[in-house]
Structure 1
Amino acid sequence: MKVYFLLIGISLFSCSNRQQLNDGIHADLIETGLAKDSIQKMDIVLDKLNKKNTTFLDYYFHNYYELDKEVGNEIKKVKGEEFVYNANEEYQELFTKLMIEKGNQYLKSLDLTEDEERLALEVYILHLKQKYGSVIDERLKNLNK
Structure 2
Amino acid sequence: MPTHWLLLLGSTLADDGRLRQALAALAELGSVRLLAPLQHGPGSRDPQRRYFNALVELVRSDGRDALVTSLKDIEQRLGRRRDDREVAIDIDLLAVRSDGPWLADAHALAKGEFAQAHTRALLHHAGLAIQATRDA
User: Shorter-chain TM-score: which interval?
Assistant: under 0.3
- Larger relative contact order, structure 1 or 2 (CA cutoff 8 Å, min sep 6): 2
Q: TM-score, with normalisation over the residues of structure 2?
A: 0.26
Q: Which protein is bigger by CA-based radius of gyration? A: 1
Structure with higher helix content: 1
Q: TM-score, with normalisation over the residues of structure 1?
A: 0.25
